[in-house]
Structure 1
Amino acid sequence: MLLALPGCAGPSAGPTQAEQAWHARLADWQGTQALLLGEQHDAPEHQRWQQDTVRWLAARGLLAALVIEMAEAGAATDGLPPDADQDRVRAALRWNEELWPWERYRPVIMATVAAGVPVRGGNLPRGRMRAAMQDGALDGHLPPAALALQRQAIAEGHCGLLPPERLMPMVRIQLARDASMAQAVLDARQRGRTVLLVAGWGHVRRDLGIPTWLPADFTSKVAVAQAGQAQTAIESEANYIHPTPALAPRDHCAELRARMPVSTPAGR
């Protein structure tokens, strides 16, 4: 009777076809120094995919660390015991609930801690953002064509509402965030194990994101979870696409416009 209840799975329930394909790819990629997982932040299946990846790697002793966009560089669970409760973990990561709902990422983070593996923040600390916005040296990191693509991505991500004078400073923040996460990955590397990074898919693009900040002799793979049909840019700039069901339509631009001050439509 219990097995017939909705939401209950019997003991014979196994991995789905997509999970089996992903596990096979993970097996092929053993020895890779870093695995960069790109997500859509509001897709719950993507966070479940991340948790599954943590468990697969940790069960085989292959997980060096989990680096996350959702916490700032310098915040880490190093030193916490595997049975640390979520309050201690949140405190160690200096979690910002306003930016990142804890319940969304709790399963993947707590699975990592329970495996005795450190979770480390990778994002650019807020205290360094103003300096990054003014750092013209960041403009030369990408080739001109790639920099133009990054500008376009930032403009489209803000629904065309950024005034021209604010566009390049926002591009620099994106570049600085990618550099910060790349450094966190490098700091966490261990011989024979893989550093797992979780971030929005735009951060892991091979042509624009974190991979461009990694040394040429550092081995990494990019996998992106895609809700529904993958965009061309995602398919071309990832080593693997993990398909998940499409989400209900949502007008992000309407939501962004609603949050902007009425007197300054292009402000934040």
Structure 2
Amino acid sequence: MKTALFVASGRWPHAIAAAVLALLLGCAAPVRLPGGWPESLAALMPADIILLGEQHDAPAHQAMEAAAVQWLVAQGRLSALVLEMAEAGHSTAALPADADEASARAALVWDERLWPWQPYKVAVMAAVRAAVPVLGGNLPRAAMRTAMQDEALDAALPPAAHSAQLQAVREGHCDLLPEAQLPGMVRIQMARDRSMARTLAAAPRAPGQTVLLIAGAGHVLRSRGVPQYLPRNFEVKVVLAQSGKAQPAIEIEADLAPVTAELPPQDACAPLRK
């Protein structure tokens, strides 16, 4: 299956690519990539950093990420891959290009309880095979308690953005969190964004190349996510993958909002209510 991780050129049949990605991602049916993906990334170049936001439960979004890594590698444009799914301080940089999945997971200290490996392995291994370092970007769990109590973080965002972040955390927890816990949870979210931004800013890059971040959609929003913590001299582009229909508000948050098939309806709050 190793050959499926490489793309010979920037142009490749979407039907074949989608079928291969579906196989590798373990999907029962082929995943349909958005029209023009991943070649549409060319319109974002040059960019020091590309932030690719996903919906975590959308297999098509992980297929998009795998295709994006493959395309950037084939174009010689990927200098590093940063992941929300691994903690900052862990990296595959010391691995040889022929390292196996177990070695990559060990290098990233991948926690299967938090993030299943299967959806992300194609993107990770495509970078490893190309000798492109994969870097953990998320805030280490050991630092979360400190972040929760760090009141200095309250001023890290403009007031309107901070209010929007608080509302997003409230809604993300299905309005079930006690109000007293919300400020601490918002600080953790902000600290996670800051951690990813620091990893991106420190990642190796060469002229004409870009660093790609894979993270949840909320983390890449221009108004309150990772871009707020990046140095202003970086050329940053945002891609927000959407399921079913792009939200109008996304236009001010992203440079590109590719749309994948709508997901089956489900009550995501049901487990929390229990």
Residue in structure 1 matched with residue 68 of structure 2 by the alignment: 53
Residue by residue over 1:129-149, the C-alpha shift from the partner in whole angstroms, topping out at 9 and shown as x without a partner, is: 001001111100111111100
Residue in structure 2 matched with residue 208 of structure 1 by the alignment: 224
CA distance in 1, matches of 2:113, 2:249: 30
CA distance in 2, matches of 1:126, 1:14: 41
Aligned pairs for 1:201-240 (under 5 A) are: 201-240=217-256
Q: What amino acid sits opposite 1:129 in the alignment? A: M
List alignment gaps of at least 5 residues for structure 2. Answer: 1-11, 16-31
Closer, same or farther in 2 for the Cα pair 1:125/1:243, shift >3 Å? same
Residue in structure 2 matched with residue 128 of structure 1 by the alignment: 143
CA distance in 1, matches of 2:43, 2:255: 12
Q: What amino acid sits opposite 1:252 in the alignment? A: A
For residue 270 of structure 2, the aligned residue among 254, 257, 262 is 254
Which range is displaced more, 224-233 or 120-129?
224-233
Q: CA deviation at 1:51?
A: 0.7
Residue in structure 2 matched with residue 262 of structure 1 by the alignment: none
CA distance in 2, matches of 1:229, 1:117: 33
- Contact between 1:81 and 1:116, CA under 8 Å: does it hold in 2? yes
List alignment gaps of at least 5 residues for structure 1. Answer: 1-12, 259-268
Q: CA deviation at 1:154?
A: 0.3
* SS at 1:196 equivalent: strand
* SS at 2:143 equivalent: helix
Residue by residue over 1:64-104, the C-alpha shift from the partner in whole angstroms, topping out at 9 and shown as x without a partner, is: 11000000000110110111111101100001101001111
Residue in structure 2 matched with residue 143 of structure 1 by the alignment: 158
User: Whose radius of gyration is greater, 1 or 2?
Assistant: 1
- Contact between 1:227 and 1:244, CA under 8 Å: does it hold in 2? yes
* SS at 2:241 equivalent: strand
State whether structure 2 residue 31 is matched by structure 1 residue 32: no
Q: Structure 2 length as normaliser, TM-score?
A: 0.86
Q: What amino acid sits opposite 2:167 in the alignment? A: Q
Which range is displaced more, 22-31 or 143-152?
22-31
Residue by residue over 1:19-57, the C-alpha shift from the partner in whole angstroms, topping out at 9 and shown as x without a partner, is: 553344322222200000000001111011001110111
Aligned pairs for 1:66-105 (under 5 A) are: 66-105=81-120
CA distance in 2, matches of 1:228, 1:20: 14
For residue 176 of structure 2, the aligned residue among 137, 161, 174 is 161
Identity %: 53
Residue by residue over 1:202-221, the C-alpha shift from the partner in whole angstroms, topping out at 9 and shown as x without a partner, is: 00000000000011111110
Residue in structure 1 matched with residue 23 of structure 2 by the alignment: none
- Runs of 4 or more above 6 Å deviation: none
How many residues end up aligned between the 2 structures?
246
